[in-house]
Amino acid sequence: MKVTEIIKKSSVFLTRRLGKAFFVSFTIALCLACAQFACASEEGADAKLDPLAWRSDLAIWTAVVFLLLFVALAKFAFGPIVKALDQREQNELARQAAAEKANADAKELLEQYRRKLEDSEEEVRRMLADAKADATEQATAIVEDAKRAVADERERAALDIQAATDVAMREIAVKGAQLATNLAGKIIQERIELDPEKSAQLVEVALNDITE
Amino acid sequence: MSGELVNMAELSRHVSDGSEYHLPQFLGSHLELPSVCGLQLTRFMVVELAVALIMFLLFVPLAWKMRGGRPVRGRFWNLLEVFLLYLRNEVIVPSIGKKDADRFTPYLWTLFFFILLCNLCGLIPWFGASPTGALATTAVLAFATFVVLVGSGMKKFGVVGFWKGQVPSMDLPWALAIFLKPMLFAIEVVGFVIKHVVLAVRLLANMFAGHLVLAVLLGFIAATADKLVLWIGVTIASVFISLALNVLELFVAFLQAYIFTFLAAIFIGMAQHQH
């Protein structure tokens, strides 16, 4: 193993093991250095107007306050806030992804509805056309039936008229014959009563006609 | 006022740290701070403690309101969250990188708000001057940044790897490399330290100078008190200029907190991504 690799591995090992302890040791070193300054310095809190005057008590105080403040805030405030911000970012990304998915789903659904609507319109058009065709066919059939019925009725009426005419003619003929017979009977009776010879002649003619 | 227009010793009591609080005259002139276990409390210490308490009382409830990633409600909490989000998204993540940023975010947030509130406390009358106007405070904050930077760098690259990485990789002949690389290493390490010293001094100088100028301007009023006509003119001018400078100081308080945090984030980012 090369010397550089050994140094590298040992330094990584030390920094991992002593990573957190490093900050603490530096802080302690700072406090010790400040304390030494404080012992060496006779300046108290009432320093003169010298911006570069070193105040060890204030330095130690500041280091302690700042370190405690940092630890407390990192534990109870800023650490949780960083996590909350990360979580908020994740939530926002998840919400954005969900919104995009919902948008895509809605568009797809809209497309489906549009297709369904188009299909429905096509279906309605087809049904209307079919209905119109059926109606036309039915109307034609009804008209034909009506025409046929009218023709039949007319034919039947003509037959009925003919039959009625025939019956009427027969009745007229019968009535006429009866009237003629009655009239002839009356005339003959009057003639016979007036001229018996001529009456006998008429009977003979009539008998001859019947025999023929 | 013997020999000088403004009594600097008197001014220093208002600008620098001290073990007493200056109260309005109708409440008595001074309030002496006690000693705790042999440590004399000072105004800056009280301010720092108050700042720490305020931060704890602000951000722990905010964390509670944000748990589970819920959005916060209310203008004040949203304002706080805006600060946090801006620093995280516009300063920390671009400087350090998204992968490593969250590890350093709590530290940099603490740093920013600690400096900001310390700066702002200096603008509150009778609350005491700003602790960031003292070298001890800014040096500790810069040193803390140095510790975080070196510690995290060494944790990532190893002790040797981190310090070795301070020298830019160059394909030099070994004869040249023997001389040049140690020199470059020394320059980089010195630069490393200087950057943090400058970090401390920049904040200190800005805050101290602002408060000093304000104190001097108001000191003119006392300095001319024995000449009535001059006193009236100086008082009016001093009050108006001080008001304008206070507004400027308000801006500087935010700006310096931002600059310190921004540079700290860049330095940490440089340590996380070597040459």
Judge contact between B133 and B211, C-beta under 8 A: yes
Token code pair at residue B204: 């200190």
CB contact under 8 A, A14 and B204: no
Interchain CB contact of B18 with A (< 8 Å): yes
pLDDT at residue B125, as a whole number: 78
Angstrom distance (rounded) from CA B160 to CA A11:
7
Sign of CA dihedral A51, A57, A58, A63: positive
Q: Which residues on A lie below 8 Å from B148 (Cβ)?
A: 23
Is the CB of B140 less than 8 angstroms away from the CB of A30?
yes
pLDDT over 50 (residue A32): no
The pLDDT score that the predictor gives to residue B11 is 66
Look at residue B74 in the predicted model and tell me its pLDDT.
Answer: 92
**B16 with A85: Cβ contact below 8 A:** no
Residue of A nearest to B110 (CA): A70
CA B46 to chain A, closest CA, distance in angstroms equals 10
For residue A106 the two structure tokens come to 């809605």
Q: Do B135 and A78 touch (CB under 8 A)?
A: no
ipTM score: 0.88
Contact B93, B100 (CB under 8 A): no
Please give the helix or strand (H or E) that residue B39 lies within, else none: strand B39-40
Q: Is B19 part of the contact surface with chain A (CB cutoff 8 Å)?
A: yes
Helix axes A78-194, A196-211, angle to 10 degrees: 130
Q: Is the pLDDT of residue A126 over 90?
A: yes
Q: Measured between beta carbons, which residues in chain A are less than 8 angstroms from residue B80?
A: none
CA separation, residue B265 to residues A41, A65, B3, B55, B147 (Å): 33, 21, 48, 20, 13
**What local confidence, expressed as pLDDT, does residue B222 receive?**
82
Indicate the SS3 state at residue B78.
helix
B63 touching A (Cβ < 8 Å): yes
How do strand B20-22 and strand B30-32 relate by DSSP bridges?
A: antiparallel
Distance between terminal CA atoms of chain B?
A: 58
Q: What does the pLDDT profile of chain B (275 residues) look like in tens digits? A: 444 555 666 666 667 777 777 777 777 777 888 888 888 888 899 999 999 999 999 999 999 999 888 889 999 999 999 999 999 999 999 999 988 899 999 999 999 999 999 999 988 877 767 899 899 999 999 999 999 999 999 988 888 888 888 887 777 777 788 888 888 889 988 998 999 999 999 999 999 888 888 888 888 888 888 888 888 888 899 889 989 999 999 999 999 999 999 999 999 998 888 76
Residue type, position A195, single letter = D
Considering CB atoms only, which of A48, A84, A88 is closest to B63?
A: A84
Count Cβ atoms within 10 A of the Cβ of residue A155 and give its class: 0-12 exposed, 13-18 middle, 19 or more buried: exposed
CB contact under 8 A, A48 and B131: no
The model's pLDDT over A61-74, given as tens digits with 9 standing for 90+, comes to: 999 999 999 999 99
Instruction: Tell the burial category of A20 from Cβ atoms under 10 Å away from its Cβ (0-12, 13-18, 19+).
Output: exposed
Q: Closest partner residue to B136 among A19, A55, A73, by Cβ?
A: A55
Cβ of residue B198 closer than 8 Å to a chain A Cβ: no
Say if the Cβ atoms of A46 and B204 lie within 8 Å: no
- Going by C-alpha positions, the residue among A179, A18, A82 that lies closest to residue B85 is A82
Q: What pLDDT does A36 receive?
A: 41
Cβ(B45)–Cβ(B52) below 8 Å: no
Q: How many CA atoms lie within 13 A of B215 on its CB side?
A: 24
Measured between beta carbons, the chain B residues lying within 8 angstroms of A30 are 140, 143, 147
Smallest CA–CA distance, residue B4 to chain A, in Å, is 15
CB contact B45 to A (< 8 Å): yes
pLDDT of residue A23: 57
pLDDT of residue A45: 42
Choose, out of A23, A82, A86, A96, the residue to mutate when testing the contact with B (most B CBs < 10 Å): A82
Cβ atoms of B154 and B137 within 8 Å: the answer is no
Give residue limits of the domains in chain B: 8-272
Q: Please state which of the ranges A113-117, A189-193, B2-6, B51-55 shows the lowest mean pLDDT.
A: B2-6
CB contact under 8 Å between A11 and B147, yes or no, is no
Contacts of B257 by beta carbon, 8 Å cutoff, 6+ apart = B112, B113, B115, B116, B119
CB pairs < 8 Å spanning A and B: 176
The whole-number pLDDT of residue A84 equals 93
- For A80, which residue in chain B has the nearest alpha carbon? B63
- CA A61 to CA A63: how far, in whole Å? 5
Min CA distance, B229 vs chain A (Å)?
31
Q: Which long-range contacts (CB under 8 A, 24 or more apart) does A97-105 make?
A: none
Domain range summary for chain A, segments of one domain joined by +: 164-211
Greater confidence (A189 vs B110) lies with: B110
Contacts of A72 in chain B (CB under 8 A): 56
Higher pLDDT, B158 or A18: B158
Q: Does B202 touch chain A (CB under 8 A)?
A: no
* Residue length of chain A: 212
